[in-house]
């Protein structure tokens, strides 16, 4: 059998047909165009998925299930999206609406969870009994995988690591709280800290790279400047990776997973990021003489959402 995976993001929708081995046979993409009516976005999701099926040469009779990774939380008992803040969705009947075009069983899960599931199924954490996937992008998401299955908690919010309090009375968060981990460990946080540094040091290397226009600043520019040895950028980068090391320590202290996998845009910094985190992490561990989780970089990139949602739907709906 074959499976459809849909990765629903704030800017684009990616769909693919996936086989039993997790290989994507064909893909299609379209813009999300947030702000449109819910039904219009779901219609485009269905059309995009059917385009991928047509490109794959697979007959619809061979398609067993559809999996969807969303930037939010869903109730699979009803097939409804509870909320997707980036899409302004609350209590929307995603399964029912999509099945108007694709009459197949549908499973909906958080996008970080499906990406973590993909890495555990065929990626860097394959074979691990337990792993935690952290996505470092605009926000910070996580997927917890235990014995090959996602752990989402009793109420479905167990992997919301981005909204663990990291700093008491710290930076205001979009969720309404203050000091959330996301405000210190995301790409957005790195950019905010970079702008603060540039304001304090207007002649720094980063300001030269962006011609003094702070609107051009992104995480890659900061990281590239640090890689090139700029002292201000290195101080900023080390501050940022200190927060990431503390985040890893929190996960280790609470869950003690076999592996922590770093994904998302910031993870593209590669070994430069990994080395900085792994050097700092031992300083925060409680059991310093005991083994602890390996910290690794994700390997599936942008395809993790398609693969993970497809394979998770297969497993959850055929068990």
Q: What average pLDDT does the structure give for the chain?
A: 95
Question: In this structure, what CATH number is given to the domain that contains residue 9?
Answer: 3.30.420.40
86 shares its domain with 227: no
Say whether pLDDT at 156 is over 70: yes
Domain count, the chain: 2
The pLDDT of residue 319 is 64
Say whether pLDDT at 259 is over 80: yes
The pLDDT of residue 174 is 83
145 shares its domain with 270: yes
The pLDDT of residue 155 is 83
The pLDDT of residue 318 is 72
106 shares its domain with 166: no
107 shares its domain with 16: yes
Residue 186 is assigned to a structural domain of this protein: yes
Say whether pLDDT at 11 is over 90: no
149 shares its domain with 26: no
Residue 34 is assigned to a structural domain of this protein: yes
pLDDT tens track for 173-192? 988 899 999 999 999 999 99
Arithmetic mean of pLDDT, 24-33: 97
Q: Which of 319, 269, 263 is nearest to 295 (CA)?
A: 263
Arithmetic mean of pLDDT, 72-80: 93
pLDDT tens track for 195-249? 999 999 999 999 999 999 999 999 999 999 999 999 999 999 999 999 999 999 9
Is 78 in contact with 40 (CB distance < 8 Å)?
A: no
Arithmetic mean of pLDDT, 36-44: 97
Residue 93 is assigned to a structural domain of this protein: yes
Please give the backbone phi and psi of residue 303, each rounded to the nearest 5 degrees, phi first. -80, -10
Q: Which of 117, 136, 101 is nearest to 306 (CA)?
A: 117
143 shares its domain with 254: yes
Residue 97 is assigned to a structural domain of this protein: yes
Cα gap 20→49, rounded to integer Å: 18
Residue 122 is assigned to a structural domain of this protein: no
- Domain range for 108 is 2-117+302-318
């Amino acid at each position: 059998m074959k499976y459809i995976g849909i990765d629903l993001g704030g800017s684009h929708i990616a769909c693919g047909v996936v086989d039993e081995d997790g290989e994507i046979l064909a893909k299609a993409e379209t813009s999300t165009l947030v702000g449109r009516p819910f039904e219009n976005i779901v219609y485009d999701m269905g059309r995009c998925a059917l385009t991928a099926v047509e490109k794959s040469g697979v007959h619809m009779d061979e398609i067993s299930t559809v999996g969807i990774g969303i930037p939010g939380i869903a109730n699979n008992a009803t097939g409804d999206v509870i909320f997707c803040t980036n899409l302004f969705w609350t209590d929307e009947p995603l399964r029912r609406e999509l099945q108007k075009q694709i009459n197949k069983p549908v499973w909906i899960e958080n996008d970080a969870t499906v990406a973590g599931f993909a890495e555990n199924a065929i990626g860097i954490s394959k074979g691990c009994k337990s792993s935690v996937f952290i996505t470092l992008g605009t926000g910070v998401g996580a997927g917890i995988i235990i014995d090959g299955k996602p752990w989402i908690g009793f109420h479905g919010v167990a992997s919301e690591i981005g909204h663990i309090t990291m700093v008491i009375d710290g930076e205001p968060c979009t969720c309404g709280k203050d000091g959330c981990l996301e405000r210190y460990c995301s790409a957005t946080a790195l950019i905010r800290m970079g702008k603060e540094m540039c304001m304090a040091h207007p002649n720094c290397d980063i300001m030269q790279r962006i011609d003094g226009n702070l609107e051009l600043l992104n995480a890659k520019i900061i990281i590239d400047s640090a890689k090139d040895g700029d002292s201000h950028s290195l101080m900023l980068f080390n501050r940022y990776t200190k927060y990431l090391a503390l985040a890893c320590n929190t996960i280790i202290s609470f869950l003690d997973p076999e592996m922590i996998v770093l994904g998302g845009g910031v993870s593209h910094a590669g070994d430069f990021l990994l080395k900085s985190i792994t050097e700092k992490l031992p300083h925060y561990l409680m059991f310093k003489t005991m083994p602890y989780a390996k910290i690794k970089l994700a390997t599936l990139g942008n395809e993790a959402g398609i693969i993970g949602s497809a394979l998770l739907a297969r497993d959850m709906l055929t068990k």
